[in-house]
Structures are given as C-alpha cells and as structure tokens.
C-alpha cells in the first residue's frame, strides 16, 4: 500500500493502471476509520483491480467550526486498517493541495439539499459536492462507494454525478452497526461510556418503529419516534422525518412511494448522530 499526498503523484500512479485497463475503485473518507469504512473498502477491493481510499477532513462542509476542530483524526491507525483491508493507494492531501484557492462553486440540487441535513446544516452539502467533485477529478474512478448511513448525502452525490456527467458508478453500501445496533460512526469515539449506552436507544427506537408501521399512520409514527427519543435519557432529537427515498420529500401515506426511509439526527450530549431505517 502506498500513501500519496499530491494529485499529480496520484494521477501518475493511476494513469499507469488505466493504461493496463485496470478498473479503479474509490472510497472517499474523512478518516477516523471504523469497521463501517472497512466494509466499504473490502467491497471496493473485491470488485475492482485497484482500490483508492482518500483521507481528508474537508473544511468546507462544516458549518460549525468547532465541529471541524473536534473531528477525530487518527491517520496512523487508519493506514494500518487500510493496509489490512487490501487498499492499494491512500490519498491523504493537505488542505492547500485540495484548495489552492477558495472554491466558490455553488451547486444546485433542487429540493434534495433543502430538507433534513440541508435545513439544519446550511452549506454542508455544497461543501460535500465541492470536495467529492475535486476527489472524482483527481482519482477519476470507475466506481465509488458510499455508506447508506449518510442517506441524504448519497442522494446528493448521485445527483451531482448525474449533473456533471461523471462516468462513475455510485455504489451504495448498507449501514454497518455495532453488535448492539448503534450505527458505526467516527463521531461515536466522542461519546463517553454513559453516552455510549444512551446512544444505542436511537437504533432501538428506529427498529421498533418499523414494527409499528402496520399499526400507525405516517404522522402518528413520526410523533412516536420523536417522543420516544426525547424521553430517552441523554438524547434530544433534532429532526425525524419519513421521506420518499428518491426525492427525500416528506410523505403523508405509506402508499406514497415504494421506497420509504425514516431519517433522524439526534444529539447525545453535544455529539450529533444520524441514523435511518428503511420502511419499504
């Protein structure tokens, strides 16, 4: 495994592979890797000739600068995990390498970025589109792998890929959970022992709600989830919505779509966690 810090050097390596007609797979990350990331990497390794993983904490997608400062950074442990998973190249650039000058591009995603995360984190998805497009330009992969835990981000990246005519196949990968059900996240490392016990209630409530779908209408189920999370010690809901899995717009009836997803953002102490559940 080789660790590369410049776009020029990365492209030199990958151009050699492309001349050999090798298929390039790509997993973009912000580091602080956990088993959820490693599952993406293993799938990328299995389905491509060459696996590239980026580690870059992107400043333009943090609307809260304190959140950026607190974001965990574990480069040595990350590279050890990636080597064990079969990664070929780690692309770990500096901020100056990715942003030699400010990126003023504004992306238009219709209503996709106006709800849920977009509503509570203004500018976040524009920052995501800025860095993912830059990484796509640097790596020029055939396939790129993203986790379904960031369900709205996945929809945004699909739309960006379509709008910018990238010849890249976007591969969604299922949420990876801890044995007790908590969705794996780099932010979990910021939970203390008590908060870690409290946080598992998020996934527990979401899974219970799936069973209640047959008994409750959409609005009743939304209120049940919101109340249940807010009544759980240490948890405070920021939002919970039941949306069309294609448009991300709120639904009012279980018959509104053949893809229905419940998406939640919850504070456990001052740590913000997201999760989702597929209802259909």
Residue 142 within any structural domain of the chain: yes
What is the helix, strand, coil percentage profile of the chain, to 5?
A: 45, 20, 35
Give 176-218 pLDDT, tens digit per residue: 999 999 999 999 999 999 999 999 999 999 999 999 999 999 9
pLDDT band at 64 (very low <50, low <70, confident <90, very high): confident
Distance (Å, rounded) from C-alpha 137 to C-alpha 135? 5
pLDDT given for residue 63 in this prediction: 84
**Is the same domain home to 14 and 141?**
yes
> Which member of 34, 37, 124, 207 is catalytic?
37
Q: How far apart are CA 46 and CA 41, in angstroms?
A: 9
Question: Last residue of a domain, which of 173, 202, 221?
Answer: 173
Asked if residue 52 lies in contact with residue 14, where contact means CB atoms within 8 angstroms, the answer is yes
Q: Which residue is listed with tokens 């050699």?
A: 16
Q: Please indicate, yes or no, whether residues 163 and 68 belong to a single structural domain of this protein.
A: yes
Confidence at residue 58, expressed as pLDDT on a 0 to 100 scale: 97
Residue 181 lies in a domain: no
For the entire predicted model, the pTM comes to 0.95
Confidence of residue 70 (pLDDT cuts 50, 70, 90): confident
Instruction: Work out the average pLDDT over 94-121.
Output: 97
pLDDT (0 to 100) of residue 272: 96
**Range of the structural domain that residue 73 is part of:** 2-173
Same domain, 113 and 245: no
What per-residue confidence (pLDDT) applies to 51? 98
37 is catalytic: yes
């Amino acid at each position: 495994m080789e660790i590369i810090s410049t776009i020029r050097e990365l492209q030199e390596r990958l151009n050699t592979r492309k001349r050999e007609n090798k298929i390039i797979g790509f997993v973009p990350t912000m580091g602080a890797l956990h088993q959820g990331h490693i599952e993406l990497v293993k799938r990328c390794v299995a389905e491509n000739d060459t696996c590239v993983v980026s580690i870059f904490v992107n400043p333009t997608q943090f609307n809260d600068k304190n959140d950026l400062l607190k974001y965990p950074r574990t480069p040595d442990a990350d590279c050890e995990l990636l080597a064990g998973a079969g990664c070929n190249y780690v692309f770990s650039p500096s901020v100056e390498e990715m942003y030699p000058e400010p990126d003023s591009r504004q992306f238009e995603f219709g209503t996709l970025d106006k709800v849920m995360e977009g509503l509570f984190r203004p500018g976040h998805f524009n920052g995501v589109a800025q860095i993912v497009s830059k990484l796509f330009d640097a790596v020029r992969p055939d396939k790129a792998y993203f986790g379904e835990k960031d369900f709205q981000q996945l929809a945004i990246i699909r739309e960006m890929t379509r709008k910018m005519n990238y010849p890249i196949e976007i591969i969604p990968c299922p949420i990876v959970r801890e044995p007790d059900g908590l969705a794996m996240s780099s932010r979990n490392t910021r939970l203390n022992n008590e908060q870690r016990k409290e946080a598992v209630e998020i996934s527990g409530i979401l899974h219970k709600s799936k069973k209640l779908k047959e008994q409750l209408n959409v609005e009743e189920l939304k209120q049940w989830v919101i109340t249940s999370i807010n009544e759980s010690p240490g948890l405070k809901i920021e939002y919970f919505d039941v949306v069309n899995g294609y448009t991300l717009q709120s639904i009012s009836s279980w018959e509104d779509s053949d893809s229905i997803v419940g998406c939640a953002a919850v504070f456990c102490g001052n740590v913000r966690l997201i999760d989702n559940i597929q209802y259909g």
